[in-house]
Chain A
Amino acid sequence: MIDNWQTFLIEGVYFLAAILFILGLKKMSSPVTARGGIIWAGVGMILATLATFLTPHLSNLNLIVIAIILGALPAWWSAKKVAMANMPQMIALYNGMGGGAAAAIAGVELIRASAGHELSTTVQTLAVLGAIIGTISFSGSIIAFAKLQGLIKKSLLFNKQQIINLGLFVFILVLGAIIVAMGSVPIVVIILFFIIALAFGVLVTVPIGGADMPVVISLFNALTGLAVAFEGFVLSNAAMIIAGTVVGAAGTLLTQLMAKAMNRPISNVLFSGFGAAEGQEAGDDSGVEGSLKPIDATDAGIMMAYAEQVIIVPGYGMAVAQAQHKIWELTKALIDRDVRVKFAIHPVAGRMPGHMNVLLAEAGVPYDIIFDLDEINAEFEQSDVALVIGANDVVNPIARTDPSSPIYGMPILSADKAKNVVVIKRGKGTGFSGVENHLFYADNTRMLYGDGQKMAGELLQGVKEL
């Protein structure tokens, strides 16, 4: 089995790397040790990469080094430069690259199989499965990136989309079965197989609306892990099998947690095209009572300055406006006036679970005033002001009351129960679901129209002038 010292060393290092990955993930599950976690995992990655250079009979060394440099520099540069609010799409992008790499491994192995380096049926099957999953994750993640980055604005829906997708998927499986059954097929068939899998990934992701994107990215993350594990079997690489499977399982659980928080089964996210056609139909303001009542920043500031308790509900709008720093300044000014300030974070606020926590942490907001939905929901009733900044669907009371609404049943933050609600909002549009928000029309709600950062600044001014 182990034929020389190089293989022995490589296997040993892979074993160590696998341990470091698992311990790293474990450490990342607590805020105190999280930072150490990524460093452990990083050390594992560097060791595994260096050890791989010792692989016996490794040719094309120049190409490998050039490719690593070409891949590393732009990724390093973009990861350092990107604004915190844009993190989700960068994760989608890097994840897609991982899926693409798994697919590329499958490509090389399948083409080699055609050229005479035959693989066993089991290995060939796993190579094909990894190829399908990796390719879909690749093209799907790129689309997710493009959508979040604003490169693709619309959710594309066309007639018979689901039937076409199903047909394509069956076609991919048939081609995959042919490749496995034949053992070696003309390269054209392999290329066709990859092209159709690419197209399928695009078509499946294109109709998915903005609010569902976090779930989709998480799903693709899990899928990439699985694809990596499958290609690990193909290459008999234990580090890939273990790391890939761990990510596949963890990612699946994370996806479920996110879908559950939105009260939408994963199948709905993938196949219903929610937030596009459906949402726009529901977007008329049928049955909304009351009117939108604007307020100016000075008044709202005074209201908050004389409150006993203020709960701030941030949403994606805060991320877009980069308002977290101003919000923290405002919070500090309020705390100086002995106002109790708490932050309420909905599980799906922003583009990913924990997205808001990351932004608030960036601004310097301490953990102990940030609360989950379950922890804080009962407190809105005792609060004088709920400040909703850039959040919409997660505070829409219709989710409690109207069974016909697409967001019915989603747990929401009970901002409407606060004595006064101030909503900072850029315009009069609806949230990602396209559903009109009844909170905005409630008697105790005042609308503060404008850019989140600017308005937070004006609120701060209002508080300080007292």
Chain B
Amino acid sequence: MTDILQIENIRKTFPGVIALDDVSFSVARGEIHTLLGENGAGKSTLMNVLTGLYHPDRGQIRMAGEKIHFTSPRDSLACGIGMVHQHFMLVPAHSVFENILLALDNVPNFYSRKTYKEKIQKLIDEFNLDLDLNTPVWKLSIGAQQWIELIKLLMRDCQLLILDEPTAVLTPQETERLFNVLRKLKKQEKSIIFISHKMREVMEISDRVTILKKGRSLATLARGDFDESKLASLMIGKDKVPQWQKALQMSDEIVLDIQGLSVRNERGLSDLDDFNLELKKGEILGIAGVAGNGQKALAEVLTGLKNASHGRIMAGQKDITKSNARYSYIAGIAHIPEDRKAIGIAPDMSIDENLIMKSFKSGSFRSWIFQNKKAIRRNAEEKIEQFAIKTGPDGTPVRYLSGGNIQKVIIARELSEQPAVLVALYPTRGLDIGSAGYVHKVIADGADRGMSTILIAEDLDELLKLSDRIAVMFRGKLIGYVNPRKTTREEIGLMMSGETPGDAA
């Protein structure tokens, strides 16, 4: 096999952070090459260098043996490198057609809508995708948006495809479909760089795996030379990956009882439709469902970001749907939001400031009307130590932290006040095994103390491992509860597509 891409000794620094120290690896033609590494190991930075978004400080890139230098994404595209970014590069307000058209090469200024629509439609049909070209992108599920990104690259006939955690937003069935497409592309002699944290997937699809750690490429292993535990130990650098099974625990005391709740979104459609849910004290209630079936609305209505149009939320004997009591109650709910950077943190403020956002009113961080800088700093130091947060020099804006470390900041803040209820929305999305394991442990420890958790996640393994009960949602309705010790992935998968347990039998 010939190498299509060679990366040699790449280094890239940001103010106060060395994102890439010394990275080398190569990708062969017709190969699926996986990049594995913890958060902050530099995977996304490396990919941004490859797509011409970042200029490396040092090192070189060769395509098909030839040394190349990218000054913009345009150069990288011209070399046949295309990427599906973790945060999609789509224009939400534009239609599917316009988004794909934007990515095409050599479109005349006065283009023929009909010709291009036919061309794109042909490719969509070839891969059996269900996409309407005229729909605006914001109306589509995240899974569908990812297909658009992939079609953009395929329309350009890219030879090297980079997929940054593509399966993070997909159901098991959708992931399987994506893998089939990737295998088909591999047969067409295209090369793929695949980034994922899910070991099951890495094992299934990779021809070779390169492990990144702290901005360095540690090793490249070929299929047959690696197994799950070897990869995990290389990546985390410990021999033992934390393996544990949570003990089931539940009392009969109901802390939250949601009855017939309906929530409308800003477009007048129902996000939640006659939804029922019971949360018991000290349990971890997993919510399974394909993204976009009302999970977000559920989290938002519980944390006070949205109002219900019908139905009731009972906390014990108290109705907290509308009354002012809700606000004092909500103050006691910890929330790990889906979009970390947008609503989880104030990105331009420092870690110290972000950590006290929930408790800044309490006396401990102020003296009269002034901030108590010493106490704020001490609190930050404690939390950084306790949660092993990797950060730059004091006062570094939080947005310079990697995704996993931002998540740790949010969790450290949310759990600082010993909340009774935690609503966690995709808390481990995009996190590496080490950080994800840590998040799991924090949630499980909370449950031991009597905290009730609503855990909304997309990774079934995660839900099966952590939950005391799993509730399955479909189109804003509760389909049913399952026992994580007795159910199967298939049963949950069927319920996620709307079949009630009775039908499934």
- Report whether chain A binds chain B: no
Interface residues of B (CB under 8 A from A): none
Binding site for B on A (CB under 8 A): none
